[in-house]
Amino acid sequence: MPRSPRPIRVALVGAKFMGRAHSNAWRQAGCFFDLPRPVALHTIAARNAAELETFAAQWGWPHTTTRWRDLAEDPEIDLVDIGTPNDVHREQAVAMLEAGKHVACEKPLAGTLDDARAMRDAAKRSKAKTFVWFNYRRCPAVALAHELVREGRLGDIRHVRATYLQSWGGPDTPRVWRFQKKRAGSGAHGDLNAHIVDMARFVTGEEITEVHGAVARTFIKERPMPDDGGPDGGGALAGSKGRKKPATGRSDVDDAVLFVASLSGGATASFEATRLAPGHQNRNTLELNGSKGSLRFDFEDMNVLWFHDDTESPRTAGWRRIMCTNAAGGHPYAENWWPDAHVIGYEHGFTNMAADIVRVLCRTKPVVPLPDFADAYETQRVLEAALLSAKERCAVRLREVR
């Protein structure tokens, strides 16, 4: 009787929002995909010991630790998944790579270009594989857009328009780590523009060569401190008459960043990210216009890709709504999920990526290319160029940002 292949044993650092998304992905990957090797959840690491045991029991992690370096020292662990704030990505990723572990890291790659460069260089020195969670590449509609561009259906790309609009960052939102430059590096820019820059690079297959101008704004400069007992919390401060009033702290990251750029093929591009756009909960959009046609995507309707074929007769030409859930039609990832038009959601992009990570580790081809540290570093360079452009009020060529 043939022996079953040894599982890929995964550890995860971080047990908050991304910890849940990643745990779910690793648990689901082997259920929905026929993988070369199974996935085994091994250890979850997080700093809050009281919450950690509950999280581990809920998501199926058999081992826990409050010391993330234990993961580097454990010979049973094959891959370490980093879902922590941006300022600790470098230390954690480099330690894991030096220990010979494969590493999957949340985006952006790091809070600063220096940290991202160090991570890229550590990956170059290591024999281990690296991955970055730009999960929107794994939406079937985005993956199909990537394929249509590769097939030449749009011709020469002339325009790229990308926005990522959210509304959760109003004045009552606590000053969590995302609003602290020392921890996040930037605000909406690194959190949201990172995604749409990666998506534009991925779908077009082109690189951004110059940022012509950028605007960065911080509209809310004081935020209430979270009262959760964590390192960002401050509870409440006593007023002059003994009354308690909410403590506040300075928010020193951008609330919104807009910039315009050029791509290597000559196209113009615009990018806009904000957390202060009422009515837009998670509006991640991309539109491309080419010499033969156009396409557009909106994550709030994530199973749909709109396509216009400009080579058709004007009599019948128009925008075509493609429901990207058709397995017989070859839509990426569709065969692994539900019958046609039984839609998938946010979490499925993570599961699709977890399955592709396993394929790469087993030397088989992923459905669409995966970003590694070197790839994510190119996106980080664009983010840095935009911040420089906003600060100096000048154009910045990417060859000047290394």
State which H helix or E strand residue 321 sits in: strand 319-323
Q: What is the pLDDT of residue 4?
A: 81
Kindly provide the b/e burial profile for residues 241-276, where b requires at least 16 CB atoms within 10 angstroms of the residue's own CB: eeeeeeeebebebbbbbbbbbbbeeebebbbbbbbb
Q: Which residues contact 7 (CB under 8 A, 6 or more apart)?
A: 37, 38, 39, 40
Q: Which pLDDT tens digit goes with each residue over 4-27? A: 899 999 999 999 999 999 999 999
**pLDDT exceeds cutoff 70 at 216:** yes
Q: Fill in the amino acid letter for 317.
A: A
Residues in the chain, how many?
A: 402
**pLDDT exceeds cutoff 60 at 243:** no
Predicted TM-score of the model (pTM)? 0.94
Which CATH number describes the domain made up of 138-344?
A: 3.30.360.10
**Structural Rg of the chain based on CA atoms:** 22
User: Where are the domains positioned within the chain?
Assistant: 138-344
Mean pLDDT, range 215-224, rounded to an integer: 98
Q: Which pLDDT tens digit goes with each residue over 226-240? A: 975 454 433 322 233
